[in-house]
Structures are given as structure tokens and as C-alpha cells.
Amino acid sequence: MIGLSAAYIPAGLAFGAIAVGSAVDRDNPKRWNNAAFWGLFSASFLAGDYLGDLVNGVLVLAMVVTGGLGGIGLSRPATTSEAAREILARRLGERLFVPVLLIPATALAGTLIFAHARFGGVPLVDPMQVTVISLAAGAILALAAAVALTRASPRVAVDEARRLMDQVGWAAILPQLLAALGAVFALAGVGHAVGEIMGVVLPQGSRLAVVAAFCLGMAAFTMIMGNAFAAFPVLTAGLGAPLIVGRFGGDPAIMGAIGMLAGYCGTRMTPMAAHNIVPTALLRLPPGAVIRAQTPTALFVLAANIVLMDALVFRHWR
């Protein structure tokens, strides 16, 4: 069965190439920091399954030190000018879109085909991971198409990847780090501690107060942890399960669905979320620009979630 390692090996090799490209870039004063950071990321992808939890933890700490304290230097490998790009664009025309569109097309075809493909009774591709594996396959096919189209050397491809990866910088590991923070929160019992406090603070008989606290808590914890997936176990253990479902007899499916969506409103408003950090870096926007574009929608939808949950969760649906 093809599993996630099919996607991790190419990712590890790509980050390894970026690390080597960084190390030989004499124009970047922080080149050794960049090389160490991307090299460690590469090691995590290539060897993470064999290192054991403690060594992986030390690897994470080393990445945090090189990326967070040392800092990633922005490399500026030679690229084409705006004017040259206009000319190239005219020559290559609509063919330029083929490799870009190959990524979603492959991801789509892979997801549809491999979700059910079996070989000797065993799924050909791990059904839980088919999207990620198809995306990786799409990226590799698209790279081949782009190289054929532009006739670029491998060195140029590495330099262009390095230019974009350095723009993302330390933020590249934030989503995984937040997932790890969520795991530590669960282990240390943060959810139960939040529940204890809420049980004391909230008015005993008010269903609306509990629903509002749950939705606002989801948004707030998501803003802290950058990820609604990390906040959901905390708030469900603390408020959703014991109070909304347990005390007031609410419907767990509605509590879960709308609660998670309340968390997503927090994602749209926090500087911790990779989905806000990555485009800010990639589009070279001032800090907070993406969050400002999203916040009014997020606040309105958060209010809508509280109203919807209060109206729906306590009904008895068949």
C-alpha cells in the first residue's frame, strides 16, 4: 500500500536541495542558519519515522532555535525582471497555465481514482491519505511539465523554490508546531482545567450563556493555538460534552459541527494561523492585511454560529 512516505520522501529531498542551495549562497549572510533550518526540516521528512519521539523533539527544538532565534535570511537568487517576464509570457502564452492546472487536476483525478483502487484486496493507496499523496504526485508531474516548458536547469528550479521558501521562512513549521502544542495541552489536561473554571464562572441555568461561552471559547482558543483542530478537544472536554450535551441534553452532532465552525472564525482573525501567515509572506503584504480582509466576515459568522447553535442544538431532531 502506498502511504504518506510516498509524499514525505519527495518533500524531504526538496527541502534537502533547498538546504544545499542555501549553504552555497555566499550572498546570504545567514546562509548557515538557512541551511541548518531547511536541512533539519528535510531530515524530519526523510527520517522522522525512524528517529523516535525524543530525538524528533530535540530536532524540533533545534529548528525553533535556528529559525526563531537565529532567523532565516531572505535569499535573493538571480531571477528574471518584470520586463523579461512580460516578453516570456507573450512567447509561452496560455501554455504557462498547463503545469499550474496539472496540480489540481492530478489531485482531483488521484482522489477519485485511488480512493477505491485495490490490488489483491488491499487498497493501492492509503484511503485516509489519498488527498495528500495525490497533491504530491500533482506537484511532481507539474514540475516535470514546467521544466519541459521553460527548459530550466535543475539548479534554476532549486533557486526559485529557495526564493519562495525563504519568504515563508520560520512560518513553514508553525502549523506542525501548533499541532504538537495541542498534543501537549491534551496530555496536561488543559481542557478539564478550562471546564472546571467555566463550571464555576458561568450562570448555572443559562443555556445561551453556555452556548456563547463554548463558541467564543472555540474562537479564542483557536486564535491562541492558530488551529481550530487543537482548540476543539480542549473546549469539547471542558464545556461541550459536560454542559451542552450532558447538563442541557443538546445534540452532540450540532454542538460539534457548529463549534468547529466557530473555531474557524477565530482562525480568520489570528496572526498565529499559517493560512494567514503564508499568504502575507507570499504576496509581500504588510502584517495584518489578510486578517483585516477577513475579520468582519469572521465576526459576523461567529455571531451567526452562536444564534444557530442556540436555536438548533436543543431541539429533538429525528
Residues in region 167-226 near other proteins by CB under 8 A: 168, 170-185, 187-190, 192-194, 196, 224-226
Min CB(127)–other proteins separation in Å? 9
Query: In this structure, what C-alpha cell is assigned to residue 82?
Result: 518584470
User: Which segment (22-30, 87-95, 116-124, 204-212) binds other proteins by CB under 8 A?
Assistant: 87-95
Choices 27-35, 116-124, 204-212, 267-275 (CB under 8 A): range interacting with other proteins: 267-275
- Cell 482522489 belongs to 111
- Cβ proximity to other proteins: between 120 and 144 the closer is 144
Query: Residue 119: exposed, middle, or buried by beta-carbon count in 10 A (0-12, 13-18, 19+)?
Result: exposed
- Residue 244 makes contact with other proteins by CB under 8 A: no
> Considering the rule CB under 8 A, would residue 19 count as an interface residue with other proteins?
no
| Helix or strand run (H / E) with residue 20 | helix 5-23
Of the candidate residues 1, 113, 164, 208, the single one contacting other proteins (CB under 8 A): 164
Strands (E), the chain: 118-119, 122-123
Residue 78: how many CB atoms within 10 A of its CB? 8
- Which positions from 269 through 308 interact with other proteins, judged by CB under 8 A? 271-272, 274-280, 282-283, 285-286, 289-290, 292-294, 296-297, 300-301, 304-305, 308
Distance CA 70, CA 73 (A): 9
Distance (Å) of CA 214 to CA 137, 190, 209, 264, 310: 40, 15, 9, 13, 11
Burial 31-62 (b: 16+ CB within 10 A, else e): bebbbbbbbbbbbbbbeeeeeeeeebeebbee
Kindly state whether residue 94 participates in binding other proteins, applying the rule CB under 8 A.
Answer: yes
- Which amino acid appears at position 54 of this protein? L
The site string for other proteins over 32-71 (x = CB under 8 A, - otherwise) reads ---------x--xx--xx-xxxxxxxxxxx--x--xxx--
Contact window for other proteins (CB under 8 A) among 24-32, 116-124, 203-211, 234-242: 234-242
2 backbone dihedrals φ, ψ, rounded to 5°: -80, 120
The site for other proteins, by CB under 8 A, has a size of 148
Q: Is 85 in the site for other proteins (CB under 8 A)?
A: yes
Beta bridge partners of 119: 122
User: Which segment (27-35, 116-124, 155-163, 201-209) binds other proteins by CB under 8 A?
Assistant: 155-163
